[in-house]
Amino acid sequence: MNVVFLAPSYPPEMQQYTRGLAEVGANVFGVGDSPKGALPSTLKPYLHDYLQVPRIMDEADVMKRVSGWLRGKRIDRVIANWEPLVILAARLRERFGLPGMTVDQVTGFRDKMVMKDRVKAAGLRVPYAFKVKTQREIREAAEKIGFPLILKPISGAGSADTYKVSSKSELEAAIAAMRHVEVVSCEEFIEGEEFTYDTVCIGGKPAYENVAAYLPKPLIARSNEWLSPVIITVRDLEQPKLKPGLVLGRKVLKALEMGDGFTHMEWFLTPKGEAVFGEIGCRPGGAHLVDQMNYTGDIDLFREWARVACWRSFEAPTKRKFNAGIIFKRAIGEGRITRITGLKDYLRRFGDHVVEEQLLRPGTMRRNWKQTLLSDGHLMVRHPNWDQAYEMSFAAATDVTLYAGG
């Protein structure tokens, strides 16, 4: 099994998918714009070969270079798990006549308006939305939708460049802030709790399912620096509260003609108990969500995804053992981290349930919290009981503090 895997070293979690592919018997042909000599030593043993390209986002150039590089070689799969590259992977599959999702199918997971149109056509509830390019079109769409509304990139991910707009003055401010975004989705704001619906699919049918709760909703977390965003995977997927979202998610997969691999969907549960579709990608969730899912069931989804991608088989147990919470911390101040308070006491209280502690250490430059959800590091906890997992997660959010200065 010879597999072309796009961007095997970046984002960093792609290295785990590369490992998974090699461990299930694939010869991994990596393609990326990182120099071969700069690839992590831990990654190199899992690569059969590697092609460095000038710019991985330059689709036409990458296709030309990959075609030349692979001439005379047998290739069985072309795969990408990073959102910006899923269309490129589909184009390469079509060029080489390989199995997998087509450009049209992948576009349904990449273009938010195409996505919503196809989901709506299947009779599923989606936010009222318009695809707009000019300032005039944005204002006209806002008039039709009414406030509050959401503005976000048509092909974005991770709540970047996403704004809740509640008035004309806020609309003008958001328009000014989004001038660099070429195509925008202007859509109805949905009030309610926000969850994920994550799967590993074989032929569009989930072999593995996950739901995680955003606490608070991503848009709020991305708008308030002082917050410590929390995400908790839910152990009990059989509870009635989540049933509407699971039913919705499975129908969305069918409507969008999902093939093999990961999906990451976001959905809203309104105060009336209605599940409303948000958006979906045919790739794994970021920000360590796959690590959380692994801790939820004591499995290795990096390897199981690879098994699905290569052999269309999922062998890991799907029993959920824990609620797993991740807490992202943001330092107070600017510059380098100077100290961490509350961590020793926190670990003394909950250390038996802490599975990861990856906070930036004093002397490290603080990260730009607007550019990465990972912020200045994280803690990850797990517990079979939801209330305990919730308590530990929010204790980390409130009782552990990082300071920066100088």
When mean pLDDT is compared across 57-66, 97-106, 157-166, 338-347, the lowest value belongs to 157-166
213 vs 195: CA distance, rounded Å: 5
Residue 78, C-beta contacts closer than 8 angstroms, at least 6 positions apart: 3, 4, 6, 89, 92, 93, 96, 98, 100
pTM of the predicted model, to two decimals?
0.92
3-state secondary structure of 198: strand
**Both 27 and 139 in a single domain?**
no
Condensed to tens digits (0 to 9), the pLDDT of residues 54-65 reads 999 999 999 999
**Both 379 and 233 in a single domain?**
yes
**Both 387 and 267 in a single domain?**
yes
Strand 230-233 to strand 205-215: parallel, antiparallel, or no bridges (unpaired)?
Answer: antiparallel
| CB-CB contact of 364 with 337 (8 Å) | yes
Condensed to tens digits (0 to 9), the pLDDT of residues 89-107 reads 999 999 999 999 999 999 9
pLDDT of 370 reads 82
**Both 199 and 170 in a single domain?**
no
**Both 261 and 354 in a single domain?**
yes
- What does DSSP assign to residue 367? P
Strongest mean pLDDT among 224-228, 324-328, 366-370: 324-328
CATH number, residue 45? 3.40.50.20
**Both 232 and 315 in a single domain?**
yes
| CB-CB contact of 28 with 3 (8 Å) | yes
Cis peptide leading into 229, omega within 30 of 0?
no
**Both 68 and 197 in a single domain?**
no
Q: Give percent above pLDDT 90 in the chain.
A: 88
* 310-325 CB burial, b ≥16 within 10 A, e <16: beeebebeeebebbbb
CATH number, residue 345? 3.30.470.20
Quick one: which of 333, 355, 342, 338 has its CA closest to 395? Answer: 342
- What does DSSP assign to residue 250? H
- What does DSSP assign to residue 188? E
User: What is the average pLDDT across 331-337?
Assistant: 96
**Both 254 and 397 in a single domain?**
yes
287 vs 292: CA distance, rounded Å: 9
- How many other C-beta atoms can be found within 10 angstroms of the C-beta atom of residue 308? 24
Please report whether residue 343 resides in a domain: yes
Q: Is the per-residue pLDDT at 157 higher than 70?
A: no
Please report whether residue 305 resides in a domain: yes
pLDDT band of residue 162 (cuts 50, 70, 90) is confident
Q: What's the total number of domains in the chain?
A: 3
**Both 225 and 170 in a single domain?**
no
pLDDT band of residue 159 (cuts 50, 70, 90) is low
| CB-CB contact of 266 with 240 (8 Å) | no
Q: Is the per-residue pLDDT at 158 higher than 60?
A: no
Condensed to tens digits (0 to 9), the pLDDT of residues 113-136 reads 899 999 999 999 999 889 898 999
Residue 104, C-beta contacts closer than 8 angstroms, at least 6 positions apart: none
236 vs 213: CA distance, rounded Å: 12
Residue 168: give the domain boundaries: 128-188
Residue 357: both structure tokens together: 């502690």
User: What is the average pLDDT across 368-385?
Assistant: 93
**Both 296 and 389 in a single domain?**
yes
Condensed to tens digits (0 to 9), the pLDDT of residues 16-52 reads 999 999 999 999 999 999 999 999 999 999 999 999 9
